[in-house]
Amino acid sequence: MTGERSATVTTGDRLYAAGWAQLAFGAAVGLAIGVGAGLTADRPFAWVTVVVIGVALAVVIPVAVLRAWWARGGRTTLLETRAWVRSGRVPDEVPDTVWRPRVRQLLGDSSRQLFGAWAAAVVACLWAALAISGETRDWAFAAVWAVLAGFQFVQVRRVRPAARRLLDAPARVVASV
């Protein structure tokens, strides 16, 4: 009431350079997928189709990333939870009712990511089988899917054991005065 400001500063859900870069990268990937589809087609591919696919994915991918951040409390909250899991400890001032649901959600996300990694590995194997009996450009698709699967497997391998260790820790008792 006296006009004094709180000493704590909250960043809220603002996007800083890293968040904007991640969204821009998603848009670039969407455009690249559209161009890649046009360049690898066997028959003539209308450039209008390439543009529509590229622009649609350039919009859909960043929107999907934003939606995922919002569903988890914002990008800052998600990064904070990942930092707790990476370090293996949660600050004492964060109550169990806050961090345990966040870590459980991160563990659930990693389970879905593990499923996606296995699916990408299967697709990579299928593309490799096509490359053996087909054209050499199919090896590029097999390599892209294999790299995608490998990247996801590495991410899951880092998150799951650390999140389980945090969740297996005994609940903290809050002292009341």
pLDDT in tens, 114-155: 999 999 999 999 989 988 988 777 788 889 889 999 999 999
CB 58 within 8 A of CB 25: no
Residue ranges of domains in the chain: 15-71, 93-177
| pLDDT value for 169 | 85
| pLDDT value for 176 | 55
As a whole number of angstroms, the longest Cα–Cα distance in the chain is 77
Give CA–CA dist 158/170, Å, rounded: 22
| pLDDT value for 80 | 92
CB 108 within 8 A of CB 147: no
Ranges of residues in the chain with a pLDDT under 70 are 1-14, 41-43, 45, 173-177
- Among residues 148, 162, 163, 160, which one has the least CA distance to residue 118? 148
| pLDDT value for 141 | 83
CB 84 within 8 A of CB 166: yes
CB 149 within 8 A of CB 117: yes
- Among residues 165, 123, 158, 175, which one has the least CA distance to residue 144? 123
Task: Give the pTM.
Answer: 0.71
| pLDDT value for 165 | 92
| pLDDT value for 2 | 40
